[in-house]
Amino acid sequence: MKALSYESRRSTNDMIDLFNLLQIRHSNEPAEIGGWRIGDRADAGARRDAATALNRLAGAPGLRLSLRGSDVPPSEFSALLRRYITAV
């Protein structure tokens, strides 16, 4: 849901939230955090829409500029997106 929120609002706060969620995933196994399914196949529906939005964000040329003023390191954010989000 957060990915779809970002897609519609383009809010820096949404990107910060996404980064924090990805850091939680990076620090924990999926079973420890109630299951992590965004990396699963995304064939249709909201799951595909979210994966598409996150993949687009990972490759966005303006990511560094979008995160200006936040504590989120753009290269780390992009790396986490590429690692944990399924390709569509």
Cα 24 to Cα 2, 17, 57, 84, 88, distances in angstroms: 14, 11, 19, 11, 23
pLDDT tens digits for range 20-46: 999 998 998 888 888 766 666 666 677
Tokens for 37?
């399914």
pLDDT tens digits for range 6-23: 776 778 888 899 999 999
| Dist. CA 66–CA 56, nearest whole Å | 14
pLDDT tens digits for range 57-67: 888 888 888 88
Query: What is the domain partition of the chain in residue ranges?
Result: 2-84
